[in-house]
Amino acid sequence: MTTLSAINKEIKYAGLISSNKFVLKFVEHEEQIIRSLQQFDGLQSEIYLDGGHDKIDQLKFAAIFSDFISIYTGGDFTDKSHATYFNPDSPYFVDRKITIPPSLISEIRQDYNLRPFYLHNSSSSIKKTIRAYSPLIDNNKAMIRPIRSLWVDKQLINKSRESLIYYAEANTDNRHWVLKDNFSVDSLPISGYMNSPQCKVLFDLTIPYFRDATLKNLTSVLVDENDVISPFRKELKNIVRGFDVLKDNLKEIQQDILRPQIDSINRRFNHIRNIQTINRLGSMAAFSLSLIQILISKDQVADAVSKIIQGLSLSNLILSETEYQRKQNELRDNPYFLLWRIQRIK
């Protein structure tokens, strides 16, 4: 069975060719994608791209606080949006059950013409999106997807025609689409993690630390420091849960909690680095003197030099590096280590 990572790569390369190939490749693997995401052991988030909003900050936030991002194209309803529908004679056609939530029953009657389709952007827009977000896609932290949608043709009292578009839930069974009864392209949904107001607080609290980081460098740090992500999320989650918007101030939390922790890690890091530099220079000097002792007769070397080099060798350098790495790893025990790393990247 093809892995989710391999499918993601196929969708990416199809999207770099054309929007049509992008949709067909997604539909070809949709059932397996849904099964994989339903069994996915981690936090998932969704971001809907639209022409009027810059989503890069939200995307960075989602990359830090979720493990997989579904990035949907086609949400701007402009001439850049395209609808792909499959007729019954198409090999891609699926006879679907459509569930309409109670809140929408008054809007969508059973006698209306209902047509499931996929909403997506133009070829040029999809290519641009894939290139911009390839660091996340290549590391299987995100997937570009079309939007499950329902086209509703309504016959109004004045006999004019009106067509409405509704979005469907993304990860239900492919043969059973469930319509969304509410939707916002500006929400920050992370399934099973926090409610929207709490996510907004967390976003505002942490955005100064990752806004200047490129997506490529941020992704690299998240991949390298994968094992420290969970403690970091837990720490920030506890802070935000105790946040009272009426009493607390985000700036105070940043200055009183986050900044002291980051400064403490930075001081320890600089101290370790300085000690390591001194040890490395000392060990290198000792190693060099050891070579001198081999090449030159011991009788020709001053007594002071002989004493310095006595018992010292390359092992000193190796021990210095080992100790340095051990102390570096100790820094990672601090739950704010990831925030410190993110702040340092350019």
Per-residue model confidence as pLDDT tens digits over 320-335: 556 666 666 778 888 8
**97 lies in a domain?**
yes
Given a cut of 70, whether residue 30 has pLDDT beyond it is yes
**202 lies in a domain?**
no
The stretch 277-301 carries a mean pLDDT of 51
For residues 108, 110, 114, 116, the Cα torsion angle rounded to the nearest 10 degrees is: 90
- The C-alpha atoms of residue 137 and residue 73 are separated, in whole angstroms, by 14
Q: Do 33 and 170 share a domain, yes or no?
A: yes
Q: Do 166 and 256 share a domain, yes or no?
A: no
The DSSP code for 100 is: P
- Residue 288, H or E segment: helix 259-295
Domain end (from 176, 191, 206) = 191
Q: Do 227 and 169 share a domain, yes or no?
A: no
Domain end (from 156, 191, 226) = 191
And the tokens for 301?
């070397």
The total number of structural domains that make up the chain: 2
* pLDDT bucket at 317, cuts 50 / 70 / 90: very low
Q: Do 232 and 294 share a domain, yes or no?
A: yes
**259 lies in a domain?**
yes
Q: Do 138 and 285 share a domain, yes or no?
A: no
Q: Do 250 and 316 share a domain, yes or no?
A: yes
- Report the pLDDT value the prediction gives residue 52, as an integer from 0 to 100: 47
Question: Could you tell me the pTM of the whole model?
Answer: 0.80
Beta-strand relationship, 176-178 and 97-99: parallel
**149 lies in a domain?**
yes
**206 lies in a domain?**
no
The per-residue pLDDT for range 216-238, each reduced to its tens digit, is: 999 999 999 999 999 999 999 88
Residue-averaged pLDDT of the chain: 81
The per-residue pLDDT for range 89-148, each reduced to its tens digit, is: 999 999 999 999 998 888 887 778 889 999 999 999 899 999 999 999 999 999 999 999
Q: Do 172 and 236 share a domain, yes or no?
A: no
**209 lies in a domain?**
no
**Computed over its alpha carbons, how large is the radius of gyration of the chain?**
28
Q: Do 120 and 158 share a domain, yes or no?
A: yes
Q: Do 181 and 99 share a domain, yes or no?
A: yes
> By residue range, what is the domain housing residue 35?
4-191
Q: Do 180 and 220 share a domain, yes or no?
A: no
Q: Do 10 and 80 share a domain, yes or no?
A: yes
* pLDDT bucket at 36, cuts 50 / 70 / 90: very high
- How far, in whole angstroms, is CA 132 from its chain's centroid? 13
Find the range with the poorest average confidence among 84-93, 104-113, 186-195, 280-289: 280-289
* pLDDT bucket at 181, cuts 50 / 70 / 90: confident
Q: Do 146 and 255 share a domain, yes or no?
A: no
